[in-house]
Structure formats: structure tokens, C-alpha cells
Amino acid sequence: MLRRTMAEFDVKAGLQHVLKRIDEVLLQRPKEVAAARPLLVAVSKTKPAEAVIEAYEAGQRDFGENYVQELEEKSRHPDILAKCPDIRWHFIGHMQSNKINKVLSVPNLRMIQTVDSEKLATKLDAAWSKQQPTPEEPLQVLIQINTSGEDVKSGIEAKDAPALYQFIRSNLKHLNLLGIMTIGAYGFDYSNGPNPDFVSLMQVHRAICEAHSLAPDSVLVSMGMSNDFDKAIEMGSTVVRVGSSIFGHRAAKA
């Protein structure tokens, strides 16, 4: 069933369209936005293994999953293991403490983008240190910030993010804290001006860089999805998480 469904879509064309759009935005982005070319994370939740493989064979390496069970199953799928040796998995969903060990045992785990408390960070740090064989590198993580203030969204409040950043950097040697992320509210009308969630995240980014004397391009900013990744890049995003624009790209009809 999944095979017939995915036949309606052209994953390679969707990926190429997104990459082309990223190039266009970078050319138009204001020069005062000092940010590196963004990393594209292809969000493959609910998509079959064959779609991941198709994107991988078209050059994509970073993939994001929201659900622990799906990440476990997909990362261990025999076809993905055989055909995608250099795949990099990002966990971008809500992290429950009782699922930590399952996520950390995922083959080719690259990053957890949703750390939102000292408690969760401390548990991740302890669990990563006990992985067997002992990992050579710290676990890459981002702090998730709830910029929209919605109760249904996970994430630490923007005002508390710099303190969490300081806590992780100072105390948790098994975590490599690379930056910050937000999901933000859906359906923002850009005719009303810049997205306030993106504005808020960039303000946190600036505060963290100033407090720790860090170059802006050394702290990742993960914001922007299929419907607004171009707007996010314009404002300084360095990680975009794009799903439907890649995996839901309809093949051209003959």
C-alpha cells in the first residue's frame, strides 16, 4: 500500500526543488544576516523506508523523525541499513525520559533537537555516558524553545533558555550543545510582517552569543519547515526541517 501511495510523489524532484529554493533565498538574504548555509533535515515521519532511500540516493543525508518507535524501526530497517550507510538521524519530537535509552541506541543517531529542561539534559548526559561501546564523541543536542507560548508545544520559555544553555555547557560534558530550535505557531500570515516566533528565537540566539562571547555562526538556529523555511532562512536560520515539500512533491503528470 505504501509503495503505491509513494508512487504518486517524486521525492527526488521535491528535494531538488527545496535545495533550489534555499539557493534563491541565500542570494536574496540581507547581507547583515551573518549565517551559514542552512543544513536541510528531511522530515520523514510517517513515510516508508523506500522514500528515505530515494531521498538518500538523491544526495540527502540528514533525516528527522518525531516519534521514537518510528525512528527505531526506520533506523534499523534492513534496506536503509544496506543502502544508506552514511545516513544521519535527528530526533525532533518530544523526548520522554522513559524513551531516552531507546533513542540513544538508534544506529547513526546524529542529534537530538528537543532538549527543554535541566532534568532531561542531565538524564541524556548520564545515559549517553553509559552507552556501550563508550561513545567517542559527546551527543549533539539543541535546546527547544517554546517561542509561541502554546501549551500544546514543548520547549522551555525564551526567557529561561540562556540559563539552560549555561547549565548544559558548564555541567554536562557528554553533551555537545550546538544551538537552539523552535517549532513556532502554524499558519502565520506573513503579510503582517516578520514571524514573531522567528524574531524571538533570534533574540535568544543573540543573547546567548553575547553572554558567551560566541560568533553568531557557531550557534545553530533550527527554525523553519515546509511552509516557511524560506522566511526562516531570511532571518538567519541555519537548520531547516522540511517534510511535505520533499516527500509530498507530486510527480508531474505525463
Segment 244-254 mean pLDDT: 72
Q: Which residues pair with 181 in a beta bridge?
A: 144, 222
Q: Read off the pLDDT of each residue in 109-132 and give the average, rounded to a whole number.
A: 95
* Lowest mean per-residue pLDDT among 5-9, 48-52, 135-139, 172-176: 5-9
> Domain of 178?
11-27+36-242
- Per the DSSP assignment, residues forming a β-bridge with 156 are 145
Helix (H) or strand (E) holding 127: helix 118-129
Is 248 inside a domain boundary?
no
Residues β-bridged to residue 241: 41
Cα gap 144→134, rounded to integer Å? 26
The pLDDT tens digits for 150-168 are: 887 889 999 999 999 999 9
**Would residue 151 count as lying in a domain?**
yes
Confidence check: pLDDT of 7 > 90: no
Residue 2 located in a structural domain: no
Give me the mean pLDDT over the 31-51 stretch. Answer: 92
Task: Give 188-201 pLDDT, tens digit per residue.
Answer: 888 898 999 999 99
pLDDT at 3 over 80: no
* Cell numbers given for 233: 532562512
Residue 5, in any domain of the structure: no
Q: How does the average pLDDT of the chain come out, rounded?
A: 92
What the block records as the C-alpha cell of 83 is: 543502502
- Comparing 28-32, 121-125, 139-143, 213-217, the range with the smallest average pLDDT is 28-32
Query: Higher pLDDT residue, 13 or 148?
Result: 13
What number of H helices and E strands is found in the chain? 11, 8
Give this prediction's pTM. 0.93
Q: Looking at 147-219, which runs of residues are DSSP E strands?
A: 175-181
User: Could you tell me if residue 98 is inside a domain?
Assistant: yes
The number of folded domains in the chain is 1
Reference 181, options 130, 238, 138, 233; nearest CA is: 238
Pairwise pLDDT comparison (229 vs 253), residue with the higher score: 229
Whether residue 250 is predicted with pLDDT greater than 50 in this model: the reply is: yes
Please name the amino acid found at residue 6: M
Mean predicted confidence (pLDDT) in 202-228: 95
Query: Does some domain include residue 16?
Result: yes
Using CA atoms, how far apart are residues 178 and 170, in angstroms rounded to an integer?
A: 14
Per DSSP, the three-state class of 98 is helix
Q: What is the CATH number of the domain that holds 202?
A: 3.20.20.10
Residue 249: inside a domain, yes or no?
A: no
List, as one string, the DSSP characters of 200-225: HHHHHHHHHHHHTT--GGGSEEE---
CB-CB contact of 217 with 34 (8 Å)? yes
The Cα-based distances of 249 to 11, 35, 165, 215, 252 in angstroms read 6, 28, 37, 37, 9
Judge whether 100 lies within some domain.
yes
pLDDT of residue 4 exceeding 50, the answer is no
Contacts 24+ apart (CB under 8 A), 16-21: 16/58, 17/245, 17/249, 18/229, 18/242, 18/245, 18/246, 21/229, 21/230
Question: What's the whole-number mean pLDDT along residues 174-191?
Answer: 91
* Per-position b or e across 196-223, b if 16+ CB within 10 A of its CB: ebbebbbebbeebeeeeeeebeebbbbb
89 or 6, greater pLDDT: 89
